[in-house]
Structure 1
């Protein structure tokens, strides 16, 4: 039997669900809501992603995560953001003000 591959979008939803967020469809992205916080989550490149919301999360494969983070640092968007780097055995969070934070 071959390996089963999970789409990046499904992995992103699983990460936020496991963190206790309620996940809701929002066009080509989704919203992750918990308590007072609403995070707009996308797997699109920053240049192609919608710009609404004060908190944005870009979910990407590990080999692209640093590039996505650097693009966002260069553009300096007017919203708070993070990049989730999905790896073979989990994920890491890359935030603009820190290097790499371990996943909870």
Structure 2
């Protein structure tokens, strides 16, 4: 895992921990659990092909990559609920997009 991805993973762990999730490593992804919900968190510094399976996914990316990542997910027509969190260098973040699978 590259330095940027490692830094994003660290920021993602902090975000989900602060939100009250139990956070653990799951290969190159992060597993965030709270009550009945398990969210697979994928640090993604640049838009690449997203995983094709899952129920709930969150992609953590750099500020400025949100639109490109959203377009990538839409073009892949993924079949799970997803959200994108964009992270600034100072650690601040925002949920920049989310969808539900209907």
State the TM-score, normalizing by the size of structure 2: 0.79
Which residue pairs with 1:95 in the alignment? 98
Cα distance, 1:31–1:13 mapped onto 2, change above 3 Å: same
Number of residue-to-residue matches in the alignment: 92
Within 5 Å, give how 1:1-104 maps onto structure 2: 7-44=7-44, 45-47=47-49, 49-87=50-88, 88=90, 90-93=92-95, 94-96=97-99
CA distance in 2, matches of 1:91, 1:9: 13
Q: 1:61 to 1:14 in 2, by over 3 A?
A: same
The 4+ residue runs of structure 1 with deviation greater than 3 A are 49-52
- Output the aligned Cα RMSD: 2.1
Of structures 1 and 2, the one scoring higher in RCO (CA 8 A, sep 6+) is 2
Any gaps of 5 or more consecutive residues in structure 2?
none
The runs of 5 or more residues in structure 1 that have no matched partner are 98-104
Which of 1 and 2 has greater Rg? 1
Cα offset, 1:46, TM superposition: 4.5
TM-score, normalization by structure 1? 0.78
